[in-house]
């Protein structure tokens, strides 16, 4: 079914949509199992600072947006207080480039604004050029670039207490 063959509708998800949300996010986070994402999403629904929005083509879910309200420091944050944060956005490939993702993010931004947020932030990996272009197209501006590092720690003196 093509996007032009149906009317796209949007809604704020509730806990009855958790399986639909998890299935869509499995397509985004291919490296994570359904069970891991389901458990994570259950935690998100128990947290009043997390919301999901869905896009449907008729009765088929074709997109999901996950937003949160954050009070901790977030890269690029300008104002004190709570900010809205785009945690995830996914639209089925058949339905992309039709404005669905932008509309889902807009719903999330509205929710954040109604919850007192003055700004809405997001991130993407440095090599994810599609995500970078999408963010730029819908009005985000780049605030900084960062590369994270990791190092295994090994005990250097096994017989001495530090």
Segments making up each domain of the chain, as ranges: 3-137
Q: What is the pLDDT of residue 65?
A: 98
**What architecture does CATH give domain 3-137?**
3-Layer(aba) Sandwich (3.40)
CB 70, CB 85: distance < 8 Å: yes
Residue numbers of the chain with a pLDDT score lower than 70: 1-4, 157-162
Q: Tokens standing for 20?
A: 């639909």
Q: Which of 116, 133, 122, 119 is nearest to 75 (CA)?
A: 122
Find the angle CA(70)-CA(47)-CA(42) to the nearest 5 degrees: 125
pTM: 0.86
CB 108, CB 65: distance < 8 Å: yes
């Amino acid at each position: 079914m093509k996007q032009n063959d149906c009317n796209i509708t949007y809604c704020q998800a509730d806990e009855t949509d958790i399986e639909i949300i998890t299935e869509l996010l499995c397509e985004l986070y291919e490296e994570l199992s359904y069970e891991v994402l389901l458990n994570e999403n259950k935690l998100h629904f128990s947290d009043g600072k997390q919301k999901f929005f869905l896009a449907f083509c008729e009765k088929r879910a074709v997109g999901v947006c996950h937003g949160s309200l954050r009070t901790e420091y977030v890269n690029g944050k300008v104002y004190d207080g709570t900010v809205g944060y785009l945690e995830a956005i996914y639209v089925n490939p058949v339905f992309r480039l039709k404005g669905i993702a932008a509309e889902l993010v807009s719903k999330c931004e509205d929710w954040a604004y109604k919850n007192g947020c003055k700004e809405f932030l997001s991130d993407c990996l440095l090599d994810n050029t599609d995500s970078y272009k999408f963010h730029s197209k819908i009005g985000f501006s780049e605030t900084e670039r960062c590369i994270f590092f990791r190092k295994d720690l090994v005990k250097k003196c096994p017989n001495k207490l530090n």
